[in-house]
Chain A
Amino acid sequence: MKLVTVKQDPDGLKVLIAAAISGNPVTVIENKNITSGAILEVTEGNTVVHLHANSAVLYLLNNLGNKVVEELIQWEASELKPVLLPYLVSVASGREDKALRSNLQQLLRDLCDCNHINAQEGNASSIVLFSSLLPLLSEPCSRSLLEEYPLLSSLIQRLQEIKEFKDSVAVWYENGITLKPWIQQRAVPYCQTASTMSLLKLSSTSPGSPVDQAKPARASITAKQLASAESSWLEPLKYYSSKLRGKSPVLPVVGENNVMITSALPYVNNVPHLGNIIGCVLSGDCFARFCRLRGDNVLYVCGTDEYGTATETKAIAEGLTPQQICDKYHAIHSKVYEWFNITFDYFGRTTTEAQTNICHDIFWDLHKNGLISQDSVQQLYCGKCERFLADRFVEGTCPHLGCGYEDARGDQCDGCGKLINAVELSHPRCKLCSNPPSIKSSNHLFLDLPKAEEDLSNWLSSTSNEWSSNAKVIAETWVRDGLKSRCITRDLKWGTPVPLDGFKEKVFYVWFDAPIGYISITASYTNEWEKWWKNPDQVKYYEFMAKDNVPFHSVVFPSMLLGTKRNWTKVSNLMATEYLNYEDGKFSKSRGVGVFGDQAIDTGIPSDIFRFYLLYLRPEAHDTAFSWIDLQTKNNSELLNNLGNFVHRALSFVLKFFGGIVPEANPKEADYQVMASINLELEAYIADLSANRQRDGLRCILSITRIGNQYIQEQEPYKLIKPDRSTEDKERGATVTAVAANIVALVGIILDPYMPDTAKQIRTYFNNPPILEHLPSAFTCFLPSGHKIQEPKPLITQLNDETVKKLSEQFSGQPAMPKREADPNEIVKLEAQITEQGNKVRQLKSSGTAGKDVIATEVAMLISLKGQLAAMKGEEPAPAGKEKKKKSNDVKKTVQNTDAPQKPAEGTPVDQAEVERLQTLVTEQANHVRELKGNPASSKEAIATEVAKLLALKQQLATAQGIDPTTLNAKDKKKKKK
């Protein structure tokens, strides 16, 4: 059994004596947060139950059912304590409360009148009374009170002679009986006359929005907390004003809290969506801003990850060079992050000389230490394009049992989500020319992770305690399953070149060099980058990312750094998030589902609102989902009604009633109560943000403004300052107004990591005093009386139903893509090429002599050209499907082609006739494919072409039915295989 208690609390003594008498040993655990004195934890079966002291004593002594004992114990809890505890509080403070003393006298008289107390020695009720009354002996005034009742004092004396009592008292009060250590931890006991039922009437008369009703409880405040609230208010805040501020470049300083922060490098080939933003850069920024407020020496770097196959394919699709693609998207990324107010000290990129140099240094170190090995790898090679088809350059049928998805990529299948080794694909085809590749072997370099395993697990066990739990679990799983060698080179052109002889025509795999980007980007920022990166003793390094990046950051990258045997700064806190979904599904660029960075800018909603909502939803423990309706609710209730309303009201009072000058404050206990509860929230805020529980931190701010609103509501300063009120009332009104304005000032500080623009706006209302740039440890008087403020303007705008409806339709997956600028000449040129290729295909088809595979090749070429054109015009290359459908009509010659593209907008009723027509087409095409597959004579290419047609048809059908095409496809396939 465990006894959780505050040292010297009489309730703890009760249990201790009872345990001694009954012979049940208890383990004492001290916990200052127990406001009820003592709790006994008892385990029965597999449930743990908590007993308060009195029932614990009854339990230990098995005195239950004895009515006399029960009544006395009940009396102690419900009659004696509510008087005794406040009396002892007054005694402890040195000002004995006479009214309480006389109440207590009455009670003790009653106690003596009851005949039972003498007969009860050694049982539950005597223990309870003894322990409760014992503290009266601590001070002369209370001792004299007890001595007025010889019956009681002699009882206590006699009990103290009993061994178990004596021993327990000696243990509990080592240095004599005192009040101070425990009495201040006690919650103020209940008010006997108040009835909870009266609240029912209150709540039914005050309308109150649902959010107001759901407000968090102001926790019960102890005397100690109250006293510390008072002293923090009276003492001016000592803040640490660092001289380092504003110096560029930021470098670690001995004796400072040096914090290096990176967020996962966003891949350059796409615009980041809101999920990407909250997963890394926004979480990183929230923390960086918090650390700067706290006075830390912070470096926050990030950049775009620019090498790799995806850049190359994207470049081919858009008809640009990889470098052009990188330049274009780097600019887009920078713009998006700037709009989101992400305060990078430097936002770089990985295509730099520094990247190549540092990457080579690390490689040579690893090579020298024997961590690089060679092996030959079988790879797909496209003879036509004269290149090895790495990862995403090849597509084919998923080899996994039960899947058979036809458009699986070389590294992963979108149908079943499993990882694939490209050579395992059945019916592989080159993504560029649709030709089947052949298998060739090629020599590659490997990072010998098993050799680094021991160092890695030692390092992990010493560092990973402060990681987010998902990061810790993923890293541990990887190490537990045993590390394998990882191929670090690729047969590509766009990447960091490999410096080793015999491999010079290859490049490093992006995952080898991407994390090195953190180092090289720092190096691009300052020549003294090694002060950050080779300084693990003085730098705390935080990494922010989504969970999919964890293996590379927790296992591969640290293994590389450890393998160099040099003193690199390795991640000390790895903070990974789960995924953010969009409404009911996933963000998808190709289907236009979800909000992407550049589109967020165009919505007209301020970036602060996005920051607020994304951080409010931050997927910390499980996946969360972005929802427009929810965004609207949170904006209108939490931000507008709660935070915005409070700031505006509090400042308007200063302006209207005191001419914009903060009045003199003389706080009383009620005000200190409010300050104490704000201090509790502020403490929680600091603890939450230090541990990167960013959601919880935000809720603390909202609790503070809620407390502020309630404070104004209860105190009604606007009534107190009316001319017909007494001077006392007017002073009270001034105090409340001043305290409320100071709460606003606090919000102006701590809101900065979440809503920097809004926080800045609030500080502007106060004319930006320097004190508001530092995080305080407790609520204090930020604005002395006489401080001038500006007229506040509404901070938050309401989001109406219409806007939200429009936005949620806009991002629901319709191809309403904004057109990007394109070179008209290029378009004309491509269009000419398409016409030419189209004619060629038609000729071939009508000639009747051309083989099916020849036609298929030419058709593929045509489709690829059309894709390029579409991309250039800023459309999705999906219209290829239209072409295929038309072709299938040509081939079948059974169904008439319809003119309009078959993509009804979502929300429009499903066209039943169209669905049926497409269904017939799908069935026919499916039969055709089955025939072809069943016939050993038919060529792979021919099958692939027909399958492609089938897929396109299915997609159209899905769109016509208003179903998400990808999910349908995958499901459909699986069903067929079964």
Chain B
Amino acid sequence: MEKKLIADTAKYLGAAKVKVTADKNGKVLVEAGGEKTSGFVCGILTLVRSQNTSLEGSTPLQKCLTLDWLTYFATHLFHCSTHEALNSCLQHIDRELLSRTYLCCHRLTVADIVLFMALHPFITNWSFMQKEQYMNISRWCSSMQNDVVLKKTYKPIKFSRTCLYEGALCH
């Protein structure tokens, strides 16, 4: 999963000549511009720093938050063995998105890009009830999918503006 997402992110950033390899334990190695970086978090950060520094965040806090999210993805979100585990990750993300536009406050960062690419295949299959259950993720997703670059690759997902399921929020 990490390998694919790094490759997709590289494509998104327009980074040329990026080689991503993974060993048998799933540990990834990124080679870009002759520089080798191991691990998902550092791999993504290297790509961002070489291609589009603004996507790492502007303040030190935002940058740390980007790293925090990437770590969270690599240690939690990407390794769910059950739907329950995935749901509890989603609940966490949904809660964090409650009071902000993007994962790192009000600025688009690479963490959003990665999350969008990771969740898109799932959200596409969500019922409206699930979309309502993860209302903040849905709101975030519906604004993310209008990103000029993401738009080209990812099929638009429909969201309902009105609440259809009374009480779905309780869970």
In angstroms, how far is the closest chain B Cβ from the Cβ of A435? 49
Interface positions, chain A 181-198, Cβ under 8 Å from B, are 189-197
In angstroms, how far is the closest chain B Cβ from the Cβ of A34? 12
Interface positions, chain A 211-225, Cβ under 8 Å from B, are 211, 213-220
Residue of B42, B65, B74, B85 near A49 (CB, 8 A) is B65
Contact A214:B129 (CB < 8 A) given known A58-B67, A695-B170, A696-B170: yes
B41 on interface, CB distance cutoff 8 Å: yes
Chain A, residue nearest B59 (CB)? A44
Interface positions, chain B 144-171, Cβ under 8 Å from A, are 166-168, 170-171
Question: Could you give, for residues 222-247 of chain A, a 1 whenever the CB lies within 8 Å of some chain B CB and a 0 otherwise?
Answer: 00000000000000000000000000
Q: Is the CB of B170 within 8 A of A699?
A: yes
Interface positions, chain A 57-79, Cβ under 8 Å from B, are 58-59, 62, 64-65, 67, 70-71, 74-75, 77-79
Interface positions, chain B 111-131, Cβ under 8 Å from A, are 118, 121-122, 125, 127, 129-130
Q: Is the CB of B127 within 8 A of A51?
A: no
Contact A64:B63 (CB < 8 A) given known A78-B71, A190-B76, A216-B87: yes
A547 on interface, CB distance cutoff 8 Å: no
Q: Is the CB of A74 within 8 A of B166?
A: no
A54 on interface, CB distance cutoff 8 Å: yes
In angstroms, how far is the closest chain A Cβ from the Cβ of B160? 14
CB contacts (< 8 Å) of A189 on chain B: these are 75
CB contacts (< 8 Å) of A699 on chain B: these are 167, 170-171
Chain A, residue nearest B101 (CB)? A47
Residue of B25, B41, B87 near A70 (CB, 8 A) is B41
Tally of A-B residue pairs with Cβ under 8 A?
A: 149
Candidate in B83, B87, B105, B171 with the most chain A CB atoms within 10 angstroms: B83
Q: Is the CB of B79 within 8 A of A213?
A: no
CA distance A194 to B76 in the complex (A): 10
Chain A, residue nearest B62 (CB)? A44
Q: Is the CB of B61 within 8 A of A49?
A: yes
In angstroms, how far is the closest chain A Cβ from the Cβ of B94? 11
CA distance A290 to B122 in the complex (A): 40
Question: Which stretch (B6-14, B32-40, B135-143) binds chain A?
Answer: B32-40
Q: Is the CB of A78 within 8 A of B78?
A: no
Question: Which stretch (A2-10, A199-207, A861-869, A909-917) binds chain B?
Answer: A199-207
B47 on interface, CB distance cutoff 8 Å: no
Q: Is the CB of A213 within 8 A of B130?
A: yes
B109 on interface, CB distance cutoff 8 Å: no
CA distance A58 to B81 in the complex (A): 30
Candidate in A70, A81, A624 with the most chain B CB atoms within 10 angstroms: A70
CA distance A913 to B40 in the complex (A): 73
CB contacts (< 8 Å) of B27 on chain A: these are 79
CA distance A189 to B96 in the complex (A): 21
Chain B, residue nearest A633 (CB)? B165
CA distance A64 to B76 in the complex (A): 22
Q: Is the CB of A195 within 8 A of B79?
A: yes
Q: Is the CB of B75 within 8 A of A217?
A: no
Residue of B39, B100, B122, B133 near A78 (CB, 8 A) is B39
Interface positions, chain B 63-116, Cβ under 8 Å from A, are 63-65, 67-68, 71-72, 74-88, 91, 96, 99-100, 104-106
Contact A192:B79 (CB < 8 A) given known A64-B63, A75-B39, A217-B84: yes
Q: Is the CB of A64 within 8 A of B64?
A: yes
Q: Is the CB of B166 within 8 A of A630?
A: yes
Q: Is the CB of B67 within 8 A of A50?
A: no
Q: Is the CB of B61 within 8 A of A59?
A: yes
CB contacts (< 8 Å) of A197 on chain B: these are 1, 121
CA distance A219 to B87 in the complex (A): 9
Contact A71:B79 (CB < 8 A) given known A51-B64, A59-B64: no
Q: Is the CB of A55 within 8 A of B26?
A: no
In angstroms, how far is the closest chain A Cβ from the Cβ of B101? 10
Q: How many residues of B contact A (CB 8 A)?
A: 58
Interface positions, chain A 72-106, Cβ under 8 Å from B, are 74-75, 77-79, 81-82
Contact A196:B79 (CB < 8 A) given known A52-B71, A77-B71, A203-B125: yes
Chain A, residue nearest B104 (CB)? A49
Q: Is the CB of B71 within 8 A of A210?
A: no
Chain A, residue nearest B124 (CB)? A200
Residue of A74, A203, A695 near B39 (CB, 8 A) is A74
CA distance A268 to B81 in the complex (A): 59
The range of chain A's interface size is 35 or more
Q: Is the CB of A217 within 8 A of B105?
A: no
In angstroms, how far is the closest chain B Cβ from the Cβ of A209? 9
Contact A55:B64 (CB < 8 A) given known A78-B71, A616-B167: yes
A617 on interface, CB distance cutoff 8 Å: yes
B20 on interface, CB distance cutoff 8 Å: no
CB contacts (< 8 Å) of B25 on chain A: these are 192-193
Q: Is the CB of A195 within 8 A of B78?
A: yes
CA distance A78 to B38 in the complex (A): 12
CA distance A200 to B83 in the complex (A): 9
In angstroms, how far is the closest chain B Cβ from the Cβ of A124? 10
Q: Is the CB of A217 within 8 A of B79?
A: no
CB contacts (< 8 Å) of A219 on chain B: these are 88
In angstroms, how far is the closest chain A Cβ from the Cβ of B121? 6
CB contacts (< 8 Å) of A479 on chain B: these are none
CA distance A544 to B171 in the complex (A): 26
B55 on interface, CB distance cutoff 8 Å: no
In angstroms, how far is the closest chain A Cβ from the Cβ of B154? 15
In angstroms, how far is the closest chain A Cβ from the Cβ of B18? 17
Q: Is the CB of B1 within 8 A of A195?
A: yes
Q: Is the CB of A42 within 8 A of B61?
A: yes
In angstroms, how far is the closest chain B Cβ from the Cβ of A90? 20
CA distance A435 to B86 in the complex (A): 72
Residue of A48, A58, A216 near B64 (CB, 8 A) is A58
CA distance A677 to B121 in the complex (A): 29
Residue of A50, A51, A78 near B75 (CB, 8 A) is A78
CA distance A192 to B122 in the complex (A): 20
CB contacts (< 8 Å) of A196 on chain B: these are 1, 77-80, 86, 118
Q: Is the CB of A191 within 8 A of B65?
A: no
CA distance A48 to B27 in the complex (A): 33
Q: Is the CB of B166 within 8 A of A62?
A: no
Chain B, residue nearest A54 (CB)? B71
Q: Is the CB of B42 within 8 A of A70?
A: yes
CA distance A191 to B26 in the complex (A): 12
CB contacts (< 8 Å) of A44 on chain B: these are 59, 61, 105
CB contacts (< 8 Å) of A48 on chain B: these are 99
Q: Is the CB of A78 within 8 A of B61?
A: no
Chain A, residue nearest B89 (CB)? A196
Q: Is the CB of A47 within 8 A of B60?
A: no
Contact A210:B84 (CB < 8 A) given known A51-B64, A74-B42, A196-B1: no
Q: Is the CB of B39 within 8 A of A71?
A: yes
Q: Is the CB of A214 within 8 A of B133?
A: yes
Q: Is the CB of A203 within 8 A of B83?
A: yes
Chain B, residue nearest A58 (CB)? B64
Q: Report the 7 A-B pairs with minimum CB-CB distance, sorted nearest first.
A: A217-B87, A55-B68, A194-B81, A59-B64, A217-B88, A190-B79, A218-B84
CB-defined A-B contacts under 8 Å, sample of 5: A51-B65, A54-B71, A79-B27, A190-B80, A617-B166
Q: Identify the A interface with B (CB < 8 A).
A: 42, 44-45, 47-52, 54-56, 58-59, 62, 64-65, 67, 70-71, 74-75, 77-79, 81-82, 189-197, 199-200, 202-204, 210-211, 213-220, 616-617, 624-625, 630, 695-696, 699
Q: Identify the B interface with A (CB < 8 A).
A: 1, 25-27, 37-42, 45-46, 49, 59-61, 63-65, 67-68, 71-72, 74-88, 91, 96, 99-100, 104-106, 118, 121-122, 125, 127, 129-130, 133, 166-168, 170-171
Other than the known A52-B71, A190-B75, A210-B127, what 14 A-B pairs have Cβ atoms closer than 8 Å?
A45-B105, A47-B99, A49-B65, A49-B105, A55-B68, A58-B67, A64-B60, A64-B67, A71-B38, A189-B75, A190-B79, A210-B130, A214-B129, A220-B85
